[in-house]
Structure 1
Amino acid sequence: MTAAQGNLWTLTAGPLPDTAPLDGDLHVDLAVIGGGFTGLSAALHAAEAGLSVVAIEAEQVGFGGSGRNVGLVNAGLWLPPGEVARIMGAEAGARLNMALSGGPSLVFDLIEKHQIRCEAVRQGTLHCAHSPKGFAELETRCAQLQGIGAPVSLIGAEEARRRTGSAQVHGALFDPRAGTIQPRAYAVGLARAAMAAGARIVQGARAAGVVYRDDLWQMHVGGHRVTADALIEGTNAYGSARDRYTKMFFFQMATDPLPPALLADILPGGEGCWDTALVMTSFRRDAAGRVIIGSVGSLDHAGSGLHRAWARRKMEALYPQLKGVALAHEWYGTIATTGDHLPRVLRLGPRGYAVFGYSGRGIGTGTLFGRALAGAVVSGREDGLPVTPDDSYSEGFTAAKAAYYETGALAAHGAEMLRGL
């Protein structure tokens, strides 16, 4: 395997939207920084509401976490709803939990409305118990989700093994609201939809020197001056404000398309999966019949060979019929996680917002927060936001915590292999 085989999503997303660099100074109602799920959703919904919009992406649309995502369209956060309410308080927690429960419907409705070709499969997800203890944790999570009206259900070990095709699972929590997509293709589709609604997208240019002055947001983009009445920053883990969140890395590896006979018992219902392990494993299929496995960790350092070895062993443990099948693609991305694993909206100034901290739940959450921030800019009201904005926010020791996460993932993967997985 070589790095040239790279990110599967980049290779299969289709052509990028045809955009042009700025050819002069520009004034708009709304400037959006970041061409991922959040920024593109904000640009789309603001343009549909009649605002003039420019979305500025330093690389290409979907370059960051949006194009490196697992592609699971989940409802809610990594935290169970009871923990969200405990941290935020009952009223604020209920507001966020209720908003995010609609994330998958928003995503799949946008895909249908704009005919986005992104391998969308809404067959639900399976949160798989990696052990009997993991199943007990799922029982608690299920009760909390059902308590807020989520249509989830627990399935026992025998049924979970039939639906995943793996003897390694000990039951699962099924969420029919959820599904899978090709995440970079979804980002590209959002960009095309935003452009069709009248938004302008600039790729390959960084917004520099962003400041609020003389009642306008001002910045320099590609040698030109851009001014805007409002600003939304949606760069999340790929922004420059390193003290807002801790970076966590997540890698994925994928096979080449497999023959039907080999795939017959592997996730025959098309669900996407992740497990209850502290250092979680994700596994799914794509439309072409590739098996994709992922976990916490980076692939850019000398010790990352351990992650690669673990991935091959883990895939074969889940699906012994894949023994000897090569993992032909590999990539990793960066997740922004806050200390309490809750997303934040930060007021940057008058009609200026930044949002970050999805903690690995970027598709539904980013799409939803992007729409909500566009609504706040259009209406001048913040009561439609899923969380109350902060006037300031920072975290300490973020580099040390990032190193801790990576070291912990290496240790967990090493320990799993020593135990024979």
Structure 2
Amino acid sequence: MTSAVVVGEDSDTQDVGNLWWRTAGAPLAAEPLEGNVRADAVIVGGGFTGCSAALHLAEAGMAVRLLEARSIGFGGSGRNVGLVNAGLWLPPEKVEEALGEAVGRRLNAALAAGPELVFSLIGRLGIDCEATRSGTLHCAHSQGGLDDLNDRLRQLRAQGAPVELLDAQETAARTGTPAFHGALLDRRAGTIQPLAYCRGLARAARDAGAVLHEHTPALDIARDGEAWRVTTPDGSVTAGALLVAVNAYGRPATGMPAPAYVPVHYFQIATRPLTDNLRRGVLPERQGCWDTAPVMSSFRLDAAGRLLVGAVGSLEGPGARWHRAWAERKLAALFPDLAGIDLEHAWCGRIAMTGDHLPKILRLGERGVSVFGYSGRGISPGTTFGKAVAAYLVDGNERALPCDPVDAHRERLAGVKQAYYEFGASLTHAVGER
């Protein structure tokens, strides 16, 4: 077996290990900011949220400057599994319980429509990102997991969602493995090449008039009279509206509270492209899959026929060898014909997990917000929140937002929780699938 190459999650040479960086096509190559400029809105962060906001602000006629500390999609948007799912990890009733019925319903409705927004933008803008809308499969790893899916089915159907619960035999036919007790099929959802999608949003935003700057970290963010002023190494942007959308990849900036979350790592390992013989029967409709296990894992195909397996865990810490060995065993357990297949790519990224698993919109001041905490659901929520925040920044009406903003957010014992998640994943992977 050929071992996959992996590099550090903050490395500027991450394209060596990250499959998405190898297959996303040409990068954007936006010039760093030089000099002091003015705009209607300034965005810090070039991921799904920031690029969606930049696009929708520019299309609304606003003069926009987007500042990205590395390159567009460098953070979680370029390390994502690529599942375009509706909703959150929390089922709808839990969302309403946490936020109250009115706000919870508003957020549930906005995110239920998330996949339609993503795929409609891909079609309207002509984004080449391996888009496949054949649904996703939430797979039951146990009878308890199947019971949970039955409850989710009830809640989602109450919302009018086009979902169905497959039995074990139907699940085996759709996945190519008999490993699961059943699966929840959501036909609203699908898969994409996430970095190509993020870059596509950025290019569309630039075409609409937004000005993008890569390799331009925000060093200081402050209210300057009736405007916001973002200072960078070689210049500044002064604007009436501000969005900070750095999620789990923010750099410290004076004058601005850092997003509060628990960093949780998620890694992925990809095989070489499968031969026609090996490919036969493996995810024949190309649904993306994830499971109900306490330490969640996922699997999907890319356009070239590589099989990607991912799970909670870091490929940089002491548990890396256990995570890698588990991925090899997991592949063989799911698809015995793939035992010993070459693994060509390996990478990981950080998820911004909040204690209640709900995204946050933090008020920073007049027409200024920070958005973070998708807890592993980046594509649809990021695109949805970016569009909604754009509408809010145009006129300052908070009712445009999918949930109510808060004045402060704290995460207690974030470092302890981070270590707990990684230790649990490492221990699970050390003994799992044996």
- SS of the equivalent of 2:369 reads strand
1:97 Cα deviation from its structure 2 partner = 0.5
Residues 46-75 of structure 1: CA deviation (Å, up to 9, x unaligned): 000000001100000000000000000000
Partner of 1:409: 425
Identify which of 250, 257, 265 aligns with 2:281.
265
Give the distance between the partners of 2:259 and 2:105, measured in 1 at CA: 28
SS state of the match for residue 393, structure 2?
helix
Q: Is contact 2:129–2:196 with CA below 8 Å preserved after alignment?
A: yes
The answer to whether residue 100 in structure 2 is matched with residue 110 in structure 1 is no
Give the 3-state SS of the residue equivalent to 1:293 in structure 2: strand
Are the aligned partners of 2:247 and 2:259 in contact in 1 as well (CA < 8 Å)? no
CA distance in 1, matches of 2:33, 2:431: 52
Deviates more, 1:296-305 or 1:177-186: 296-305
Q: Is the Cα contact below 8 Å between 2:268 and 2:309 reproduced in 1?
A: yes
Change (3 A) 1:362 1:258: same
1:375 equivalent to 2:386? Answer no
Establish whether residue 224 from structure 1 lines up as the match of residue 235 from structure 2.
yes
Question: How do residues 191-230 of structure 1 correspond to structure 2 at under 5 angstroms?
Answer: 191-230=202-241
Secondary structure (helix, strand or coil) at the match of 2:362 reads strand
Work out whether 1:55 is the aligned partner of 2:66: yes
RMSD: 1.1
Name the structure 1 match of 2:106.
95
Note if contact 1:243-1:398 (Cα within 8 Å) is conserved in structure 2: no
> What's the CA shift for 1:221?
2.0
In 2, Cα distance between equivalents of 1:260 and 1:49: 47
- Secondary structure at 2:286's aligned position in 1? coil
Q: Kindly state the Cα deviation for residue 414 of structure 1 after the two structures are TM-superposed.
A: 2.1
**Greater mean alpha carbon deviation, residues 377-386 or residues 355-364:** 377-386
Match for residue 13 of structure 2? none
| Separation (CA, whole Å) in 2 of partners of 1:149 and 1:158 | 26
For 1:3, give the aligned amino acid: V
**1:385 corresponds to 2:396:** no
- In 2, Cα distance between equivalents of 1:270 and 1:85: 32
Q: Within 5 Å, which residues of 2 pair with 1:22-421?
A: 22-239=33-250, 240=252, 244-417=260-433, 420=434
CA deviations on 1:81-127 (whole Å, 9 max, x unpaired) are: 11111111211111111110000000001100110000000000000
**d(CA) in 2 for partners of 1:303, 1:82:** 35
Q: Which amino acid aligns with 2:309?
A: I
User: Aligned equivalents of 1:249 and 1:17: distance in 2?
Assistant: 26
For 2:145 and 2:413, locate their aligned partners in 1 and report how far apart those are by CA, in whole Å: 30
Task: Give the % identical residues.
Answer: 52
CA distance in 2, matches of 1:265, 1:45: 41
Contact 1:243 1:395 in 2 (8 A): no
Alpha carbons 1:31, 1:53 under 8 Å: kept? yes
So what's the TM-score if we normalise by structure 1? 0.98
Which residue number corresponds to residue 28 of structure 2? Answer: 17
Greater alpha carbon shift after TM alignment, 116-125 vs 13-22? 13-22
In the superposition, relative to structure 1, how do residues 243 and 358 fare at CA in structure 2: closer, same or farther (>3 Å)?
closer
Q: Is the 8 A contact 2:34 2:234 kept in 1?
A: no
User: Residues of 1 paired with 2:243 and 2:52: CA distance?
Assistant: 11
Paired residues of 2:353 and 2:375 also in contact (CA < 8 A):
yes
Q: Does residue 1:3 correspond to 2:3, yes or no?
A: no
| Distance in 1 (alpha carbons) for counterparts of 2:144 and 2:292 | 9
Aligned residue pairs: how many? 418
- The CA distance in 1 between the partners of 2:432 and 2:29, in whole Å, is 46
Report the Cα offset of residue 242 of structure 1.
5.2
The whole-number CA distance in structure 1 between the counterparts of 2:174 and 2:61 is 46
Shift of 1:22: 2.4
TM-score by length of 2: 0.95
Greater CA deviation, 408-417 or 133-142?
Answer: 408-417
1:243 positional shift: 5.9
Structure 2 residue runs without a partner (length 5+): 8-15
Deviations 1:327-349 (A, max 9, x none): 21000010001110000100011
Alpha-carbon distance, 1:18 to partner: 3.4
Partner SS, residue 3 of structure 1 = coil
| CA displacement at 1:131 relative to structure 2 | 1.3
